[in-house]
Structure 1
């Protein structure tokens, strides 16, 4: 559905360190970088997640109600994403656990160092 997603940062080096750690838990790698952005992808795929300084040169701000949610393979990946986020400058917005949205909706919620909200979600039964 989406070609790519971008989120803003005011400190690209700090954001890069954070996203290098958390995206690795989901099987993503840093695939592109320049003075204003870093991009992540799954190996062999197109770069679909970008962290960027705003093009207009103004400070990055957090979108109230905006939240990329990453579909992950299993609950262990959700747990690892949350742990990596907290260990690399992120903050907790909801520890890993089942949510009422669907029978097997296991998710966590974090904020990156710029305040962008992120989620990692597994909708598969833990026994699968």
Structure 2
């Protein structure tokens, strides 16, 4: 249903360093980068770019949406743990440590963080332990 997502950043170079580290445990890499945009997709031949990071098109400063959150799917709980740890190591802020959120389902394992621009993201694994 969703083709791709875009997050605004006020410092595309810092955002690339941040997301390179955070998305690597999820098997994603920068598939495109220039001075204005960086795009991430699965580390596979001919994979589609699924996440774009860029300065807002209107030229105004990027800002985090109140109530907005992007959830990234992980195949394993270990990937959730590693990506959350990478986010914090790169200067992100935790919004919820990795763990089961049984209110959302018996195997809903998630962690939450904010990136360098304040965007909130979730890392989610629904696989059994």
Q: RMSD of aligned C-alpha atoms?
A: 0.7
Calculate the TM-score normalised by the size of structure 2. Answer: 0.95
- Cα-to-partner distance string for 1:83-119 (whole Å, 9 max, x where unaligned): 0000001010000000021110000000001000011
Query: In the alignment, is residue 60 of structure 1 matched against residue 86 of structure 2?
Result: no
Q: Is 1:118 the equivalent of 2:121?
A: yes
Count of paired positions: 126
Measure, in 1, the Cα distance between the counterparts of 2:48 and 2:89. Answer: 28
Instruction: Select the residue among 69, 72, 78 that pairs with 2:74.
Output: 72
The two structures have a TM-score, normalised by structure 1, of: 0.96
Off by >4 Å, runs of 4+ in structure 1: none
Q: Which stretches in structure 2 are left out of the alignment for 5+ residues? A: none
Structure 1 gap ranges (5+): none
Alpha-carbon separation, structure 2, partners of 1:89 and 1:38:
19
- Deviations along 1:30-89, one digit per CA (max 9) or x if unpaired, are 000111110000022111100010011000010111111111111000000110000001
